[in-house]
Structure 1
Amino acid sequence: MPIRGGLPPRNPRFVGREELLTRVRGLLGNGPVVLLPSPDHQLGGTGRTQLAVEYAYRHADAYELVWWIPAEQSAGMRAALAGLAQKLGLPEARDLNRTLGAVRDALSRGEPYRHWLVVFENANRPEDIMPYLPSGAGHVLVTSRNPRWTAEVAQVLPVPVFDRSDAVDLLRGRVTELSAADADRLADRLGDVPIALDLAAAVRAATGWPVDEYLDRYDRRAAELAFPTPIRVAWGLAAEALDRAAPADRVLLELCTFLASAPISWQLLWAARTLPLEEEVARTVRVERRLRAAMRRIARFGLAGLDPSGERLTVHPLIRGMFGQELSSQRHAGLLRTVRGMLAAADPGDPDNPAGWYRYAELAPHLIHSDLLGGEAEEARQLVINCIRFHYARGDYDSSRELAGAAVTRWRDALGESAEQTLLASFHLANALRAVGRTAEARNLNLHTLRTQREVFGADDEATLATANSVGGDLRMQGHFGQARQLDADNLVRYRRLFGESFPTALRCANNLGIDLRLLGDFRGARALDEQTLRHRQAVLLDGHPETWASRAALAYDLFGLGDYAGVAAVLAGHAEHVAEDHPFALWAGRLTAMAAHRRGLPEARELAAATLAACRQRFGDLSVDTLATAVSSANCARAAGDLAGAHELLERAVIRLHAVLGDEHPFTLAASAGLAGVVRAAGRHADARTIDEEVLGGLRRSVGADHPFTLSCANGLAADLFAAGEAQRARELAADTLRRSRVVRGADHPDTAACAWNLALTDGDRAARQQALAALAKAYGDGHPVFRATAAGQRLETDIDLPPL
């Protein structure tokens, strides 16, 4: 049996279509096939989806994998493809787009399944699915109403109405005592249109109307319409019959008019029980048993599909559209208010919690059709904001950005630019923009939002503080670490005063301030703050909570910066084993472990660094700052192992990409360039290294100051360049200044301070100073460390730069 995902139940009453099924099978061998309505029924109703479902079941044995993807809305399509990624065993990237690209590529390569079938249902915008269309030995089947499919993308196959014999078989299959002659009469009147035939068969089965009575009713209703069509007339008879049997059920269907084609769960309809409703409707939705019975009656009359479990209704777009056209403007407005209230009442809250994501996945498709963005109630707009955050939290940054952008545009006009929820949507839009790499737009939007929030709500408002935290992230991305520290320190004071030290958002702000301190080279201050944050998080959160892991990683980075390389392993010991290999914490832990192993002279450092770099590329992408920082650490390990060519390639590529992502003057770009100079110097090209180091040192002094660890490491390298060039006096002055600063900043016992002392002693030719430096190195590293091979050979020591997280 093939692996299946999302495939709708097979229609037990499917009939005919043998020639079409054969044609689909033949065409799929030549590339994607799109099923379209026939030209004379462009609105649909000819059975495209049922044909695709039947094909999938009939030929399932020819495939190893069959996956069904609802493609009417891009968010739902991305979610279904993310589910396929899990089934393919692909690691989940932070950015969902990377995961979806990996799905396409894995299918195209035939890994791990060579023979597969992927069905995109209701793909009415070809441009939306084109980035995700795989090639290879598998098959792609598409259903659509849009005729704008080019031959370069897919082969078009129109799906016409039934042949008469198939139409007769469908009608007789529903009511076995129906004669062939009567079935032929019905099929003739219904134009052999599949959806009209299905409605007629369902209504006759539900009401017991004889054929003559049905046809009489059909003719009378057709005479009342200006433009009667088989679908419209058959729908009208079904809706009228349901209204007569159970008026409340018709109202439920009218509510569905404002929802999407996606399945509608009974829980969503049940949420309406808290709203003011007509008495009989209120009685129906108030009790689950009655609501489920109503859903079964609706399905009996053919007006919706009901899944085998009885959990979800699916209403055909044509049925929804015809109900909508029958509503007066006053009733339309009243039902729309009810639907918006129903959606808001179904909001589970806490969109960051994965436990509730399945509920948001059910609600999100209905936001557009209900025009929830235009809702007047605050709770309806809050559901929009929560859905924006849900998309972001699960890594679907594009869906988050699209919904947030639409909300900001609508609410600026309707509510005003300074309205609370307009500003909240702006905050989330900035987050999504930053996540997709549009950092300048994010920064400008955040600054504007923060100014407005401070003016309208004050600096102590919780939403204002959240935006200020986001601005701090923008400042770090710009390399303005000092400004970020100032802002985050002010935020933390406010958070603690308003909410207390252990409040989750106060702890997040403390975590951000720790990042700032670490980026500024204040590892002692960062350690004190991160230890405190970790204690609070352990007290209020489970130890396996992502924020607890983040605090452990932060503390490990602090210890690394302080030169306590053994302490890094102690903080991380055992904790990364409880998360997936590609979880951000596992990747942070992997990089830190490799960095500490490199500093301790352990041989496994390089292999661990390379494995972590490969995992980061898969998880975050080549242009992620996390990936580029890991590449710098991996290059340090490669250089220490003697692979200068490999180290040079890694650093050169990292520098180019950091230039593109962060800019020329960002401290990370400059620090990686200093690392590149170290590799060039190790290859004996001191003049080239000097050129790089002189430019980098000036940039670092301007951006982070002369006392920053990045600056000190670059200065240490430049002193070596000057010494090699015969400029002993300049080399000595720079080496002495670097040592003095390192003792103040890093501490006298720090390994890098000991390395600076060794280098100055070599420059001076001072035997006693060399012995003191060797003693300091022995204290820092212990006996047998590879550093002593370099000192024994009279070589100068590098002080490598590793980039902490932004």
Structure 2
Amino acid sequence: MPIRGGLPPRNPRFVGREDLLARVREMLGTGPVVLLPSQEHQLGGTGRTQLAIEYAHRHSEAYDLIWWIPAEQTSGTRAALAGLAQRLGLPESRDLNRTLGAVRDALSRGEPYRNWLVVFENANRPEDITPYLPSGAGHVLVTSRNPRWTTEVAQGLPVPVFDRADSVDLLRARAPELSAVDAGRLAERLGDVPMALDLAAAVREATGRPVSGYLEDFDRRAAELAFPTPIRVAWGLAAEALGAAAPADRVLLELCTFLASAPISWRLLWAARTLPLDPELARTVRVERRLRAAMRRIARFGLAGLDPAGERLTVHPLIRGMFGQELSSERHAALLRTVRGMLAAGDPGDPDDPAGWYRYAELAPHLIHSDLLGGDAEEIRQLVINCIRFHYARGDYDSSRDLASAAVSRWRDGLGESAEQTLLAGFHLANAMRAVGRSADARTLNLQTLRTQREVVGADDEATLATANSVGADLRMQGHFGQARQLDADNLVRYRRLFGESFPTALRCANNLAADLRLLGDFRGARALDEQVLRHRQAIFVDGHPETVSSRAALAFDLFGLGDYAGAADVLATRPGDAIPADHPFALWAGRCAAMAARRRGEPSARALAAENLAMSRKRFGELSVDTLASAVSAANCAQADGDLDEAHEMLERAVIRYHAVLGDDHPFTLAASAGLAGVVRATGRHSDARTIDMEVLGGLRRSVGSDHPFTLSCANGLAADLFAVGEVQQSRELAADTLRRSQAVRGTDHPDTAACAWNLARIGADDAAREQALNGLVKAFGDGHPVFRATAADLHLETETDLPPL
């Protein structure tokens, strides 16, 4: 049996279509196929979805994998493809776009399944699914109402109405006692349209109406309509019959028509029990047993599909549209208010908690069809904000951005730019923008939002503080570490005053301030904060909680910066009960620091640890992520320490190019990576080339982070060696002496990098006493037997290579 995901159950009453099924099979051999309505029935109802379902079941043995994707909305498409990624065993990326690209590529390669079928249902905008269409040996089948498909994307196959024999077979399958003559009379009046035939058969079965009586009703109903069509008339009779049998059921179905074609769970409908409703409807939805019975009755009249478990209703788009056309403006407004209230009542809250994501996955598809953005109640708009956050937390940054952008646009016009929820939506929009690489746009929007929030609700409001934290992240990303520190320090004072120092959001703010200090080279200040945050998080969270892992990784980076490599390794080694996966961002930070500490301690395992960390980072974040680039720099440092200069040069050269593209020419990380590249060039004996790079980088670092920053000191240490090698001995000695003084003042006399600077100055000055003293300092810093002494024995310059902390 093939693996099946989301495939609807087979229709036991499916009849005919043999020629069409054979045609689908033939056409799929040459590329994707899209099933379209026939020219005479552009609105649908000719059975495209049922044909796709039957094809998938009938030919299931030919496939290893069959995956059904609801594609009416992009977010639903992306969610279904994310589920396929898990089934394919693909690593989850923090950015869902990367995961979906990996799904497409894996299917195209035929790994791990060569023969597969992917069905996109209700894909009415070709451009929405084109980025996800795989190639390869598998098959892609699409259903759509939109005829605007080009042959470059998919081959169109119109699905016509039944021929008369199939119509008769369908009617008699539902009512075996029906004569062929009577079935033919019904089929002729219903135009052989599959949806009309199904509705008529359902109504007759539910009511026991004879053929003659149904045809009389059909003629009556048709005469009442200006433009009668078989589907419209058959739908009207079904809705009329349902209303006569159970008026509350019809109202319940009318509520469903304000929702999307996505399955509507009984839990969502059950949420309406808290709202003011008509007494009969209130009685129906108040008790789960009655609600489920109503759902079965609705399905019995053919007005919606019901899954085999009786959990979810699915209303065809045509049914939704016809109900909407029948409603008066007053009735439409009243039902819409109820639907919006029902959706808001179903909001589980806390969209960051994965335990509630399945509820948001049920709610999110219905936001657009119920025009939740136009809701006038605060709790309705809050559901929109929570769905924006849900998409973001799940890694679907595009869906988060699209919904947030729509909310900001609508609410600015309707509520005003300074309304609380307009500003909240703006905050979430900026987060999504930053996540998809639009950092400059995110910063501009965040600054505008923060300025307005401070004017309207004050600097101490919780939402204002959250935006201020986001602005701090923008500043760090842009390399403005000092400005980020000032902002985050002010935020922390406010958070602690309002919530106390152990409140989770206050701890996150303290964590951010520690990151600022670390990026500024103040590892002592960062360590004090990170130790405090770690203690509080250990008291609050269970072992292995992501935020505790984050604090351990941060503290390890602090200790590494202080030259305590053994201490950094110890912090990372004592992580009992960690439950997060190895490719979680915080786990990757910890893994990178472990490799860095191993390298500085001279352990042979360092290079393998760094290579593994880089591979996982690439899969998790992609090649252009700042996390991946920092991991590449650390891996290059390990390769250089292992003597593989070609590998180190290639990795650093690629990283520098990408840093220029991602962060810009003047960002401290771009400059620090460039200094690392100069170090490899220097190690190959090309001192003049290295000098050129270092001269430019040193000027940039002095301007951006100052002369005492570790990045600057590392570059200056390298440039001193360049100058010495090209014969500029006096300038080399002066720079080496200045670098040593600054390192002693900033990092301390016992820091390993200070000891390395002391050796380099003694070597340049050819001072034997100073060499002896420097060697003693190196023994104290690194211990006997460290690989650094192979370099001193050969009278070589000691590099103080830079590793980049997390942004």
The TM-score bracket by the shorter chain reads over 0.9
Residue in 1 that maps onto 2:688: 687
What pairs with 1:242-261 in structure 2 (closer than 5 Å)? 242-261=242-261
Structure 2 Cα separation of the partners of residues 496 and 521 of structure 1? 25
**1:368 aligned counterpart, secondary structure:** coil
**1:56 aligned counterpart, secondary structure:** helix
**Cα distance change of structure 1 residues 145 and 692 upon mapping to structure 2, 3 Å threshold:** same
The one-letter code sitting in structure 2 at the alignment partner of 1:662 is: L
Residue in 2 that maps onto 1:105: 105
Residue in 1 that maps onto 2:418: 418
What pairs with 1:745-784 in structure 2 (closer than 5 Å)? 745-784=746-785
Structure 2 Cα separation of the partners of residues 73 and 8 of structure 1? 18
Structure 2 Cα separation of the partners of residues 586 and 113 of structure 1? 30
Please list the CA deviations of residues 732-767 of structure 1 after superposition, one character each: whole Å capped at 9, or x if unmatched.
Answer: 111111111111211111110110011111112121
Please list the CA deviations of residues 605-625 of structure 1 after superposition, one character each: whole Å capped at 9, or x if unmatched.
Answer: 112212211211111011100
Residue in 1 that maps onto 2:480: 480
Deviation at 1:11, TM superposition (A): 0.8
The one-letter code sitting in structure 1 at the alignment partner of 2:759 is: W
Deviation at 1:545, TM superposition (A): 1.8
Residue in 2 that maps onto 1:149: 149
Please list the CA deviations of residues 40-81 of structure 1 after superposition, one character each: whole Å capped at 9, or x if unmatched.
Answer: 001000000000001101101100000000011000000000
Residue in 2 that maps onto 1:604: 605
Residue in 2 that maps onto 1:490: 490
What pairs with 1:705-784 in structure 2 (closer than 5 Å)? 705-784=706-785
Structure 1 Cα separation of the partners of residues 681 and 306 of structure 2? 68
Please list the CA deviations of residues 284-339 of structure 1 after superposition, one character each: whole Å capped at 9, or x if unmatched.
Answer: 11111111110010011010000011110000000111111000000000000000
Please list the CA deviations of residues 341-368 of structure 1 after superposition, one character each: whole Å capped at 9, or x if unmatched.
Answer: 0000000000001111111011000000
What pairs with 1:143-182 in structure 2 (closer than 5 Å)? 143-182=143-182
Residue in 2 that maps onto 1:379: 379
Structure 2 Cα separation of the partners of residues 744 and 170 of structure 1? 89
Structure 2 Cα separation of the partners of residues 563 and 203 of structure 1? 80
**2:368 aligned counterpart, secondary structure:** helix
What pairs with 1:342-741 in structure 2 (closer than 5 Å)? 342-573=342-573, 575=575, 578-741=579-742
Root-mean-square deviation (Å): 0.9
**1:35 aligned counterpart, secondary structure:** strand
Contact 2:545/2:580 (8 A) holds in 1: no
Residue in 1 that maps onto 2:74: 74
Residue in 1 that maps onto 2:298: 298
Structure 1 Cα separation of the partners of residues 69 and 700 of structure 2? 51
Structure 2 Cα separation of the partners of residues 549 and 770 of structure 1? 42
Structure 2 Cα separation of the partners of residues 782 and 339 of structure 1? 71
Task: Tell me whether 79-88 or 771-780 shows the greater mean CA deviation.
Answer: 771-780
Residue in 1 that maps onto 2:3: 3
Deviation at 1:580, TM superposition (A): 2.1
Structure 2 Cα separation of the partners of residues 44 and 578 of structure 1? 49
Contact 2:336/2:370 (8 A) holds in 1: yes
The one-letter code sitting in structure 1 at the alignment partner of 2:333 is: A
Structure 2 Cα separation of the partners of residues 351 and 360 of structure 1? 8
Deviation at 1:574, TM superposition (A): 5.6
Structure 2 Cα separation of the partners of residues 659 and 142 of structure 1? 42
Deviation at 1:544, TM superposition (A): 2.1
Structure 2 Cα separation of the partners of residues 402 and 452 of structure 1? 22
Contact 2:544/2:578 (8 A) holds in 1: no
Deviation at 1:543, TM superposition (A): 2.1
Residue in 2 that maps onto 1:327: 327
Structure 1 Cα separation of the partners of residues 220 and 709 of structure 2? 87
Contact 2:688/2:722 (8 A) holds in 1: yes
Deviation at 1:589, TM superposition (A): 2.1
Contact 2:218/2:237 (8 A) holds in 1: yes
Deviation at 1:571, TM superposition (A): 1.3
Residue in 2 that maps onto 1:799: 800
Contact 2:222/2:233 (8 A) holds in 1: yes
Structure 1 Cα separation of the partners of residues 137 and 714 of structure 2? 53
Contact 2:545/2:579 (8 A) holds in 1: no
Please list the CA deviations of residues 506-542 of structure 1 after superposition, one character each: whole Å capped at 9, or x if unmatched.
Answer: 1110110010010000111111100110111111122
The one-letter code sitting in structure 2 at the alignment partner of 1:12 is: P
Deviation at 1:578, TM superposition (A): 3.8
The one-letter code sitting in structure 2 at the alignment partner of 1:313 is: L
Please list the CA deviations of residues 70-96 of structure 1 after superposition, one character each: whole Å capped at 9, or x if unmatched.
Answer: 011000000000000011110011110
Structure 1 Cα separation of the partners of residues 731 and 30 of structure 2? 72
Residue in 1 that maps onto 2:273: 273
Structure 2 Cα separation of the partners of residues 251 and 574 of structure 1? 60
Please list the CA deviations of residues 215-241 of structure 1 after superposition, one character each: whole Å capped at 9, or x if unmatched.
Answer: 111111111111111100100110000
Structure 1 Cα separation of the partners of residues 469 and 5 of structure 2? 40
Deviation at 1:581, TM superposition (A): 2.7
Please list the CA deviations of residues 220-278 of structure 1 after superposition, one character each: whole Å capped at 9, or x if unmatched.
Answer: 11111111111001001100000001000000111011100000000110111111111
Deviation at 1:569, TM superposition (A): 2.0
Deviation at 1:9, TM superposition (A): 1.2
Deviation at 1:600, TM superposition (A): 1.1
What pairs with 1:24-35 in structure 2 (closer than 5 Å)? 24-35=24-35
Deviation at 1:583, TM superposition (A): 1.6
Deviation at 1:577, TM superposition (A): 6.3
Residue in 2 that maps onto 1:789: 790
Deviation at 1:585, TM superposition (A): 2.5
Structure 2 Cα separation of the partners of residues 587 and 90 of structure 1? 17
Deviation at 1:586, TM superposition (A): 2.6
**1:111 aligned counterpart, secondary structure:** coil
Contact 2:543/2:578 (8 A) holds in 1: no
**2:11 aligned counterpart, secondary structure:** coil
**1:11 aligned counterpart, secondary structure:** coil
1:308 corresponds to 2:308 = yes
TM-score by length of 1: 0.99
Structure 1 Cα separation of the partners of residues 358 and 508 of structure 2? 26
Structure 1 Cα separation of the partners of residues 183 and 370 of structure 2? 39
**2:416 aligned counterpart, secondary structure:** coil
Gaps of 5+ in 1: none
The one-letter code sitting in structure 2 at the alignment partner of 1:661 is: V
Structure 2 Cα separation of the partners of residues 302 and 578 of structure 1? 48
Structure 1 Cα separation of the partners of residues 292 and 345 of structure 2? 19
Structure 2 Cα separation of the partners of residues 534 and 577 of structure 1? 14
Contact 2:35/2:159 (8 A) holds in 1: yes
Identity over the aligned pairs, expressed in percent?
A: 84
Please list the CA deviations of residues 587-611 of structure 1 after superposition, one character each: whole Å capped at 9, or x if unmatched.
Answer: 2122111111111111121122122
Deviation at 1:200, TM superposition (A): 0.5
Gaps of 5+ in 2: none
The one-letter code sitting in structure 1 at the alignment partner of 2:689 is: D
The one-letter code sitting in structure 2 at the alignment partner of 1:213 is: G
Contact 2:530/2:551 (8 A) holds in 1: yes
Residue in 1 that maps onto 2:51: 51
TM-score by length of 2: 0.99
The one-letter code sitting in structure 2 at the alignment partner of 1:623 is: L
The one-letter code sitting in structure 2 at the alignment partner of 1:639 is: Q
The one-letter code sitting in structure 2 at the alignment partner of 1:209 is: R
Structure 2 Cα separation of the partners of residues 543 and 459 of structure 1? 34
The one-letter code sitting in structure 2 at the alignment partner of 1:294 is: A
Deviation at 1:579, TM superposition (A): 2.9
The one-letter code sitting in structure 2 at the alignment partner of 1:448 is: Q
Structure 1 Cα separation of the partners of residues 422 and 272 of structure 2? 27
Residue in 2 that maps onto 1:91: 91
Contact 2:569/2:598 (8 A) holds in 1: no
